[in-house]
């Protein structure tokens, strides 16, 4: 594992906000990661909350828009916020649509050409990223939680449900809860995984939750979200949780849309959700 390069670093809420760049084995590209280290990290490794971003985003959006650092600093929680796809490849069709390809890796391991050699974001998030930050930052990756927004909410649910022993809590903002049953998911999974829809189920939280996570899942969903009915469909996950016995706190928020204003409003609750599960509160 090559030593990452620090490309920016600044003081923030008594801690350090930084961006690193590293050569990724999972994607075969250079990847950027935004990291917040709380003040408590100066005395030893701290627990971590991973945040997975949504369509079109980079690691920068959540860093500058969500206001998570203040709450993470108070809790003694590191934030690790990766990019949403490989960059710099220029694969055929990679940049044609905003909801597929560049900026839209969907946190899967692609099996179809030309994506399969680089679009391996599931392995990147679950294996390479924890190993990287655990080796080079004062972060205790054995004490982890995960959250995300939209496509990243889908990623957080899938990653957390498939690895319940590695993530003490799961939460999400306006997640795509069932990509096998929405247009965004059909497009992404069809291209990345192929026509056999049986393979898609490994990345559908509403199907994975038949094996519940031991802790309550928190979801916030704005009722003024323009993607609510066609793409997000929280009622599908709600029904699946009811059938499996998964504890779920689904909060439908009147008047809120899909933006970072919505995320920033409820970010304190999601940091607190993770902090409680990690024994920080």
Active site residues: 150, 225, 258
Contacts of 146 (CB under 8 A, 6+ apart): 49, 50, 51, 52, 156, 159, 160, 167, 169, 170, 171
Alpha-carbon distance of 3 to 21, in angstroms, equals 9
Determine the straight-line distance between the first and last CA of the chain, rounded to whole angstroms: 34
∠ Cα 44 32 164 (to 5°):
60
| Longest distance between any two alpha carbons in the chain, whole Å | 51
Distance from the Cα of residue 205 to its chain's centroid: 13
Is there a cis peptide before residue 223, judged by omega within 30 degrees of 0?
Answer: no
Alpha-carbon distance of 108 to 17, in angstroms, equals 28
The answer to whether the beta carbons of residues 17 and 70 sit under 8 Å apart is no
């Amino acid at each position: 594992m090559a030593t990452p390069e620090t490309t920016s670093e600044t003081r923030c809420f008594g801690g350090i906000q930084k961006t690193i760049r590293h050569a990724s084995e999972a994607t075969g590209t250079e990847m950027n990661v935004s990291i917040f280290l709380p003040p408590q990290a100066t005395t030893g490794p701290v627990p971590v909350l991973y945040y997975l971003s949504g369509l079109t985003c980079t690691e920068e959006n959540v860093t500058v828009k969500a206001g998570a650092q203040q709450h993470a600093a108070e809790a003694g929680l590191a934030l690790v916020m990766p990019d949403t796809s490989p960059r710099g490849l220029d694969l055929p069709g990679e940049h044609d649509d905003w909801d597929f390809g560049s900026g839209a890796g969907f946190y899967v391991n692609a099996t179809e050409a030309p994506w399969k050699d680089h679009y391996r974001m599931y392995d990147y998030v679950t294996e390479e990223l924890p190993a990287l930050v655990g080796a080079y930052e004062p972060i205790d990756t054995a004490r982890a939680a995960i959250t995300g927004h939209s496509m990243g909410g889908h990623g957080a649910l899938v990653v957390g449900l498939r690895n319940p022993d590695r993530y003490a809590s799961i939460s999400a903002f306006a997640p795509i809860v069932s990509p096998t049953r929405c247009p965004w998911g059909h497009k992404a999974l069809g291209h990345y995984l192929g026509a056999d829809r049986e393979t898609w189920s490994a990345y559908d939280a509403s199907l994975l939750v038949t094996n519940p996570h031991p802790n309550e899942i928190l979801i916030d969903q704005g009722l003024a979200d323009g993607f609510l009915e066609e793409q997000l469909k929280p009622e599908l996950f709600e029904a699946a949780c009811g059938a499996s016995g998964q504890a779920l706190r689904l909060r439908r928020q009147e008047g809120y849309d899909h933006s970072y204003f919505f995320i920033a409003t409820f970010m304190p609750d999601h940091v607190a959700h993770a902090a409680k599960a990690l024994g920080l509160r």
